[in-house]
Structure 1
Amino acid sequence: MDTTISTYRFPDRKYTFCPGCSHSLVLDHLNAALVKLQLDPRQVVLVTDIGCVGMSDQFFDVNAFHGLHGRAVTYASGIKLANPDLKVIALIGDGGVGIGGHHLLNAARRNIGVTVLVFNNLNFGMTGGQHSVATPYGARTATTRGGNLERPLDICATVAVNGAAYVFRGTAFDKELPERMVEAIQTPGFALLDIWELCTAYYVPGNDFSRAALMQTIQRLKFPLGVLQKMESPELARAYRDQISNLQSPISNAQPIATKFDSALTKTTRVILAGAAGGKVRSTASALAIGGMMSGLWATQRDDYPVSVMSGYSVSEVILSRDEILYMGIEKPDILAVLTPEGLSQVPRQLRAMDEAQTVYVVPELAAHVQTRARKIVFNFGRAAPSKKSLALTATAAIVRHANLYPLAAFREAISAGQRAEIAAENVKAVEASEGIL
Structure 2
Amino acid sequence: MSRFLNKNRPPVYCPGCTHEKITKGLDKALTDLNLPADKTVIVSDIGCSGLFDTFFNTHALHGIHGRALTYATGLKLAAPDLNVIVTMGDGGLIIGGAHVLAACRRNLDMTLIILNNFNFGMTGGQYSVTTPTEAVVGSEFLNQAEIPLDICTIAQSAGATYVDRCSGYDADLSGKICKAIEHHGFSIIETLGICTGRYTKKNPLTPASLDQMIKKFPEPSGRIEKNQRPEYGDRYRELAKEKTIFPEAATIEKKIHLGNYQHQEVVILGSAGMRIVTAGDIVGHAGLCAGMNVSIKNDHNVTVLRGPSVSEIIISPDKIDYPGIESPSVVLALSDEGVQRRNKIFASLKPDTFVFKEKKVSIPQTPGKVVEIDFRKLKIKKQDWAMASLGVMAKKEKAVNKEMLIHALKFCFNENRYLTAMETIEKTFNA
**TM-score (ref. length: structure 2):** 0.89
Q: Contact conserved, 1:290 with 1:414, CA < 8 A, in 2?
A: yes
The separation in 1 between residues aligned to 2:13 and 2:428, in whole angstroms, is: 69
Q: Tell me which residue corresponds to 2:365.
A: 371
Moved more, 341-350 or 378-387: 378-387
Pairs within 5 Å for 1:17-416: 17-145=13-141, 148=144, 150-219=146-215, 221-224=216-219, 227=222, 229=224, 232-250=228-246, 252-264=247-259, 266-356=261-351, 358-367=353-362, 369-379=363-373, 381=375, 383-384=377-378, 386-416=380-410
1:170-197 CA-partner distances (Å, limit 9, x unpaired): 1222243233323322322111010111
1:115-169 CA-partner distances (Å, limit 9, x unpaired): 2111111112223222222122422222355973543222112112322121111
Unaligned runs of 5+ in 2: none
Is 1:431 the equivalent of 2:425? yes
Q: CA deviation at 1:30?
A: 2.5
Q: Contact conserved, 2:163 with 2:220, CA < 8 A, in 1?
A: no
The separation in 2 between residues aligned to 1:179 and 1:29, in whole angstroms, is: 8
1:399-425 CA-partner distances (Å, limit 9, x unpaired): 234244344233223234353443332
Give the counterpart letter for 1:337 in structure 2: L
Q: CA deviation at 1:348?
A: 2.5
Q: CA deviation at 1:308?
A: 0.9
**435 and 105 in structure 1: CA distance in 2 versus 1, 3 angstrom threshold:** same
Q: CA deviation at 1:341?
A: 1.2
RMSD (CA atoms)? 2.7
Moved more, 25-34 or 298-307: 25-34
SS of the residue 2:341 aligns to: coil
The separation in 2 between residues aligned to 1:293 and 1:147, in whole angstroms, is: 59
Q: Contact conserved, 2:293 with 2:320, CA < 8 A, in 1?
A: yes
Percent of counterpart pairs with the same letter? Answer: 32
Q: CA deviation at 1:382?
A: 7.5
Unaligned runs of 5+ in 1: none
Moved more, 403-412 or 294-303: 403-412
The separation in 1 between residues aligned to 2:9 and 2:335, in whole angstroms, is: 61
1:247-283 CA-partner distances (Å, limit 9, x unpaired): 2232x11131111112345332222211111211111
Q: Contact conserved, 2:360 with 2:374, CA < 8 A, in 1?
A: no
Number of residue-to-residue matches in the alignment: 430
Q: Contact conserved, 1:273 with 1:316, CA < 8 A, in 2?
A: yes
